Structure 1
Amino acid sequence: MSPNNTSVLLIYTGGTIGMIENAETGALESFNFEHLQKHVPELQNFTFRIDTYQFDPPMDSSDMDPDAWRKLVRIISDNYNQYTGFVILHGTDTMAYTASALSFMLEGLNKPVILTGSQLPIGVLRTDGKENLLTSIEIATARHPNGRPIVPEVCIFFENHLTRGNRTTKINAENFNAFRSYNYPVLASAGIHIKYNNVQIHTENVQRELQPHYLLDTNIAILKLFPGIQENVVDAILAIKGLKAVVLETYGSGNAPLKEWFLHHLHNACEQGIIIVNVTQCSAGTVEMERYETGYRLMQAGVVCGYDSTTESAVTKLMFLLGHNYPPAKVRDLMSRPLAGEITI
């Protein structure tokens, strides 16, 4: 790999990784690149160009929203031909939502977009940020001997594992291994060497132009079932003004109560054009609506199978499809097909 034509754009949105402790006040302050170079001198060992773009002001990831996703897509799209790959520094809380959204919004992507962050600020002695950042940069520039990128998709790198962005969920607020991809194998493991799981990595046989998308519709709700859920709760959610889609978090392999009022409300909502997607509350596994009668009755009511989708992926995929103003029938159809490797059928 020739360093001369290798370069990375490092995009800092905010989050713990970019916080530096002010020695005088003890307060955590947001990053600038000079700070980063001071705390991660190893960056100088890369023989290629690393440019930076900073959100100003930085965003706490709890504030991340579709406008921020559009901004990221625009930055990547505007700079797409100038860089080998992109690394996005992001807070961990909503990283899986951002990674899922970008996987749909960056259609035809054939370069690495790696999201990473940390549980401890980069200036802290025991930080996980340094390792996450350096390895993400390495992955973003990794290429096959023929020059093609090894990982041309939106991924999350955290604590030695590279996972597909729209398959990943935050599972831990305390430990360094904050993310997990339960239903899809890791794309790479970083030990002494970075071992790539080439069979699982998505590659386009045909080189496509990047087609950025900016249209998102957020008229979506999540309805999580629990024993004893009241009819007025279900009714209130399904009657939200302007509601276009619901992610229904069911039990096990896609099961729900067989109460007639419940099925009646779902059926009515589906008849009105509201798209209801069935995903499981379980961390791992898939929705199989034909397996038990409860799931089958949901299917009869018009509920769409979400297969092994994460909630984050189902929500952002619905925003993406609804943003394109597709009719409900087309959205239902596309929710049942993988657009960016987000579900296994």
Structure 2
Amino acid sequence: MSKKVSILLIYTGGTIGMVKDHPSETLRAFDFNKLVSKIPELSQLECKIESISFKNPIDSSNMNPSHWVSIATIIEEHYNRFDGFVVLQGSDTMSYSSSALSYMLENLSKPVIFTGSQLPIGDLRTDAKENLITSIQIAALQENNRAVIQEVCLYFEYKLYRANRTTKINAEHFEAFTSLNFPALVESGVHLKINQNYLLKNQKNKKLTVHKVMDTNVAIFKLFPGFSRELLQGLLNIQNLKALVFETYGAGNAPTDDWLISDLKEAIKNGLHIVNVTQCSGGSVIMGRYSTSEELKRLQLIDGGDITTEAAITKLMYLLGSGVSHKSFRTIFETSIRGELT
């Protein structure tokens, strides 16, 4: 007889863990120790569920790398006791958090699934129950006593995505996230449709390594028609800035003004890592495809390919925190290390 699969819920905060106090109409944090009484359907899942909550649950707008380290540490401390992990947080910064965790958890061989909801768990039309139930069900999937999912994912509105491929696209619809450059890993309908060909597998059987140093000396600059030299220089001259996500137009294009090229060239010469990432939700940077990106290619900006901004900024934090040498930084960034790049 095989042992019962055990899942650990980690509640950091967010709408999914809230219930409405109907007399006052205010939201208050839900007691996850009473989860089954609130969602009796969970008792039908053939798995054991335990939960841990942040002492002070936070709104996801307040999420920062210290909280990512807290989540990673909880997973590290309970890794051998549980077969899978479901992280509950607010959706606003979920793509950033889950992307960060994908880098921080090296040699992961168990599922870590982020989910949340647009409506509180006690609302009549809530999406919280489906998101939570299916996330737990997917986290519990086993084949030959091994987890089917062996990576950090994000589940929302009937689809499981690779976390570092996601972007939040809607603040009101239940379908809040998308992954335009990579297919869904699992689709939930009458049955769970698992797209096996797209799953990451930990073939090495190496021990989990948890990276807890994230260097936040990074920035994002989004191009827009009419941005000034003073604005860009103000950013490039920030003390201790080490890396920049440069959000360009279309397939990696930027204005061809001489001052822009010379300022970027000087910044790179001074050691700044600049990653060219498209502003578009989908598609890829292809430097040199148009004349408006030829100079960026000559400057040897790091090619972001089809990486999302969320995955790019967190990858920079991770690589800088890991002490990657300046010489090999570009090569490592342009290499897919957790499935974040095609």
**TM class, shorter-length:** over 0.9
TM-score, normalised to structure 1, is: 0.97
Check the 8 A contact 1:118/1:128 in 2, yes or no.
Answer: yes
Q: Which residue of 1 aligns with 2:199?
A: 201
Partner secondary structure for residue 29 of structure 1: strand
**Secondary structure in 2 matching 1:81:** coil
How many angstroms does 1:302 deviate by? 3.0
**1:105 corresponds to 2:104:** yes
In the alignment, is the contact (CA less than 8 A) between 2:168 and 2:176 conserved in 1?
yes
How many Å separate the matches in 2 of 1:35 and 1:63?
26
Q: Show CA shifts across 1:116-174 (max 9, x none).
A: 00000000010000000000000001012x12211110000000000000000000000
Please point out which of 186, 189, 192 is paired with 1:188: 186
Query: Hey, what does 1:298 align to over in structure 2?
Result: 296
Are 1:329 and 2:327 counterparts?
A: yes
User: Deviation per CA, 1:24-60, whole angstroms, max 9, x where unpaired?
Assistant: 3221001211453332111222232111000011010
Partner of 2:153: 155
Q: Tell me what 1:238 maps to.
A: 236
Which residue number in structure 1 is paired with residue 280 of structure 2? 282
Checking the alignment, whether the CA contact within 8 Å between 1:253 and 1:286 is kept in structure 2 is yes
RMSD: 1.1
Corresponding residue number in structure 1 for 2:314: 316
Contact 1:267 1:302 in 2 (8 A): no
Matches of 2:92 and 2:253, distance apart in 1: 28
Residues of 2 paired with 1:34 and 1:335: CA distance?
Answer: 42
* Structure-to-structure mapping, 1:213-224, within 5 angstroms: 213-224=211-222
**2:248 corresponds to:** 250
Deviations 1:291-337 (A, max 9, x none): 12222211212311100000000000000000122232222121110
Matches within 5 A, 1:46-195: 46-144=45-143, 146-195=144-193
SS in 2 for 1:111: coil
User: Contact 1:155 / 1:163 at 8 angstroms: preserved in 2?
Assistant: yes
For the residue of structure 2 that corresponds to 1:314, the secondary structure is helix
Which deviates more, 185-194 or 323-332?
323-332
Alpha-carbon distance in 2 for matches of 1:289, 1:221: 21
Asked whether the 8 Å contact 1:169–1:181 carries over to 2, the reply is yes
Question: Quick one: structure 1 residues 124 and 35, their matched pair in 2 at CA, closer, same or farther if it must change by over 3 Å?
Answer: farther
Give the counterpart of 1:271 among 262, 269, 272: 269
Q: Which AA in structure 2 matches 1:14?
A: G
**Letter aligned with residue 237 of structure 1:** L
% same residue: 49
Is 1:31 the equivalent of 2:30? yes
Structure 1 gaps of 5+ residues are: none
2:110 maps to a residue whose letter is K
Does structure 1 retain, via aligned residues, the 8 Å contact 2:33–2:51? no
Structure 2 runs not aligned, ≥5 long: none
For 2:46, what is the secondary structure of its paired residue? coil
Shift of 1:87: 0.3
Of stretches 261-270 and 319-328 in structure 1, the one that deviates more from structure 2 is: 319-328
Q: C-alpha separation between the residues in 2 aligned to 1:340 and 1:199?
A: 15
Aligned-pair CA distance for 1:67: 0.4
Equivalent position SS for 2:197: coil
Aligned equivalents of 1:327 and 1:265: distance in 2? 23
- CA offsets per residue over residues 260-301 of structure 1, 9 Å max, x none? 000001000000110000000011100001212222211212
The amino acid of 2:83's aligned partner reads T
